[in-house]
């Protein structure tokens, strides 16, 4: 049974249908969204290819459709387009419907904690490939956005991240419980939320901030974004 494909369809269905809602009108951002997701997908797919080859994680063929690109299931390739689409949709909805940026004042402190704390954890788990690469990369992108580029949307980003964690963990819960995707605990923190490696929460942060950073930059080039 292609469970992974069903989860991909479930993930994209509502964001795609609601993209045509006139209030948010998410379709107007497609010209910025698709290049953003493509760039981030290339990065994550290269990473995914090597981590799968090295046995950091892998896939259970009992729950896959069958076709592979290199050593990655088709569903895994789709994941890096579908999940960012859904997350950016949530991000834009929050920016549209929330009356103000509630975390604007807290954002620099949250970012500072992440920029310092994530590399410290990575240092103590050096050699655990998933933890090391994910935590360091996430810290670099937070540093870039908050303190180097000084973007004005970090408060919105953190609020969106908290909301995105809910469906992200639900989908990952199914993927890791069956499991569709298995993880080698020698390469992560060894701490799980139910069956989900805690590292996945930082992976979600990295996936989202990379996509938002490129998405907002393209919007700004197009004269849409502020900050």
**Structural contact between residues 176 and 183, judged by C-beta atoms closer than 8 angstroms:** yes
Using CA atoms, how far residue 26 sits from 22, 82, 96, 189, in Å, is 8, 15, 10, 37
pLDDT given at position 99: 76
Which pLDDT value is given to residue 197?
A: 98
Considering only 12-21, 92-101, 103-112, 200-209, which range has the smallest mean pLDDT? 92-101
The percentage of the chain sitting over the pLDDT mark of 70, rounded to a whole number, equals 99
Average pLDDT, the chain: 96
Per DSSP, 145 falls in state I
- Rounded Cα gap, residues 152 and 121, in angstroms: 27
Residue 162 lies in a domain: yes
- For residue 226, tell me if it sits in a domain: no
pLDDT grade for 226, boundaries at 50, 70 and 90: low
Structural domain containing residue 14? 3-221
**154-165 pLDDT per residue, tens:** 999 999 999 999
pLDDT at 227 over 60: no
Helix, strand, coil: what percent of the chain each, to 5?
70, 5, 25
Please tell me the distance from the alpha carbon of residue 133 to that of residue 126, in angstroms, as a whole number: 9
Burial (CB < 10 A; 0-12, 13-18, 19+), residue 194, is: exposed
Distance CA(157)–CA(214), nearest Å, equals 13
Please, where are the H alpha helices in 2-106? Answer: 3-18, 30-53, 74-97
What is the distance between the alpha carbons of residues 111 and 117, in angstroms, rounded to a whole number?
A: 10
Instruction: Report whether 169 contacts 133 (CB < 8 A).
Output: no
Please tell me the total count of domains within the chain: 1
β partners of residue 58: 182
Q: Tell me the CA distances in angstroms from 16 to 19, 26, 174, one per residue in order.
A: 5, 9, 22
Asked, for residue 97, whether it belongs to a domain, the answer is yes
Mean pLDDT calculated for residue range 36-50 = 98
Residues in Cβ contact with 52 at an 8 Å cutoff, skipping those fewer than 6 apart? 58, 59, 71, 72
For residue 22, being part of any structural domain is answered with yes
Which pLDDT value is given to residue 98? Answer: 85
Residue at 227 is within a domain: no
Please report the pLDDT score of residue 121 as a whole number.
98
Count of C-beta atoms within a 10 Å radius of residue 139: 23
115: in domain? yes
């Amino acid at each position: 049974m292609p469970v992974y494909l069903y989860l991909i369809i479930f993930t994209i269905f509502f964001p795609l249908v609601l993209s045509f809602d006139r209030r948010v009108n998410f379709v107007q951002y497609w010209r910025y969204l698709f290049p953003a997701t493509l760039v981030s997908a290339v990065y994550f797919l290269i990473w995914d290819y090597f981590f799968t080859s090295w046995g950091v994680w892998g896939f259970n063929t009992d729950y896959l459709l069958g076709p592979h690109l290199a050593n990655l299931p088709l569903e895994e390739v789709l994941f890096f387009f579908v999940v960012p689409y859904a997350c950016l949709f949530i991000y834009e909805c929050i920016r549209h419907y929330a009356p103000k940026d509630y975390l604007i004042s807290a954002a620099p402190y949250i970012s500072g904690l992440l920029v310092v704390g994530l590399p410290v954890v990575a240092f103590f788990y050096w050699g655990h490939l998933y933890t090391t690469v994910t935590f360091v990369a996430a810290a670099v992108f937070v540093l870039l956005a908050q303190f180097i580029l000084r973007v004005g949307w970090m408060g919105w980003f953190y609020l969106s991240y908290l909301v995105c964690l809910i469906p992200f963990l639900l989908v990952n819960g199914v993927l890791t419980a069956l499991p569709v995707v298995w993880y080698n605990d020698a390469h992560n923190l060894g701490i799980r939320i139910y069956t989900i490696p805690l590292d996945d929460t930082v992976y979600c942060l990295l996936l989202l901030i990379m996509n938002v950073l490129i998405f907002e930059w393209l919007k700004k080039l197009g004269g849409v974004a502020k900050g």
